[in-house]
């Protein structure tokens, strides 16, 4: 399976042929300095002319992705593992009039309800079981990953009729093992999550004592395998947001002055 680059309306995004439903993993949107939405406080973003631009970007994005004009369901991400059920009543387009509820994942069993999560180095995971008619979107930073966000997403899907052996998952662009340097706390937590399956995921960084290079995408893939999702049902994007910070927002590459990628899925 593979990710393919698509472009429309001046926007570019990736799609995985693993997912048999509408979805997109966006890249940097619409040109220099533009971003669709960020959960970070941003005074400039609150200026009226800025809001108008944000609205136009999202309208272009919804049209490009063939999502309904009523809008999408959004998270306010807090690096936790709460998965909120989206029935579609919260659909809207940014700029948002109201702050979304805190959560790092969304699940739905309703057709026509796009679920959006945001990342800029963290791992976006889109999942679906089309036979059960259930989809989910998850934001997995290292904290979410080791707190078992993947498990929370699969459980939320299973509660609505999905079966792990039928779930298809696409793990999107994120900071990769080449760039995600951490202290020892991350490898320790990854090993607590995965047990022996953590082997080889967090090698010590050569020549940098006390530092490790962690492959969070692979950690999430291995966790999905442990949860019963077949290996052949998981697609992993090889793009590293930090290596490719010219086309992706990267929290580390920008020292936090950034926009975010949106990863969106709809039944």
DSSP states of 84-126 as a string? EE--STT-B-SSPSSPPPB-SEEEE-STT--EEEEESSSEEEE
x/- track of binding to Zn ion for residues 234-253 (CB under 5 A): ------x-xx----------
C-alpha to C-alpha distance for 229 and 14, rounded to whole angstroms: 22
How many residues interact with Zn ion (rule CB under 5 A)? 6
- Our CB check for Zn ion shows the closer of 127 and 201 to be 201
CA 115 to chain CA mean position, Å: 10
Q: Which stretch binds Zn ion (CB under 5 A): 51-59, 76-84, 233-241, 254-262?
A: 233-241
Give the shortest CB-18-to-Zn ion separation in angstroms.
Answer: 22
Among 29, 149, 158, 179, binds Zn ion (CB under 5 A): 179
178 binds Zn ion (CB under 5 A): yes
60 binds Zn ion (CB under 5 A): no
146 binds Zn ion (CB under 5 A): no
C-alpha to C-alpha distance for 202 and 188, rounded to whole angstroms: 9
125 binds Zn ion (CB under 5 A): no
Q: Sign of the C-alpha dihedral, residues 58, 64, 69, 73? A: negative
- Our CB check for Zn ion shows the closer of 16 and 241 to be 241
For residue 63, what are its two tokens?
A: 């049209």
- In the complex, which residues of this chain contact Zn ion (CB under 5 A)? 176, 178-179, 240, 242-243
């Amino acid at each position: 399976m593979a990710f393919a680059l698509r472009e429309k309306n001046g926007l570019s995004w990736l799609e995985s042929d693993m997912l048999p439903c509408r979805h997109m993993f966006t890249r940097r949107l619409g040109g220099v300095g533009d971003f669709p939405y960020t959960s970070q406080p941003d005074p400039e973003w609150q200026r009226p002319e800025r809001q108008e631009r944000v609205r136009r970007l999202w309208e272009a994005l919804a049209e490009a992705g063939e999502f309904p004009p009523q809008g999408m369901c959004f998270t306010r991400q807090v690096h936790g593992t709460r998965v909120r059920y989206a029935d579609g009543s919260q659909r809207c387009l940014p700029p948002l009039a109201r702050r979304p509820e805190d959560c790092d994942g969304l699940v739905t069993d309703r057709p026509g309800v796009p679920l959006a999560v945001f990342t800029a180095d963290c791992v976006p995971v889109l999942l679906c079981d089309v036979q059960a008619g259930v989809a989910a979107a998850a934001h997995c930073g290292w904290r979410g990953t080791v707190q078992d966000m993947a498990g929370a997403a699969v459980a939320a899907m299973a509660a609505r009729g999905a079966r792990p052996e039928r779930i298809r998952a696409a793990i999107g662009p994120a900071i990769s093992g080449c760039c995600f340097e951490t202290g020892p706390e991350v490898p320790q937590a990854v090993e607590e999550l995965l047990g022996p399956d953590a082997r080889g995921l967090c090698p010590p960084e050569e020549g940098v004592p006390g530092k490790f290079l962690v492959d969070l995408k692979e950690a999430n893939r291995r966790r999905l395998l442990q949860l019963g999702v077949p290996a052949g049902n998981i697609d992993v994007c090889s793009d590293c947001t930090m290596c490719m910070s010219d086309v992706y927002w990267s929290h580390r590459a920008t020292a936090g002055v950034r926009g975010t990628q949106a990863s969106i899925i709809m039944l």
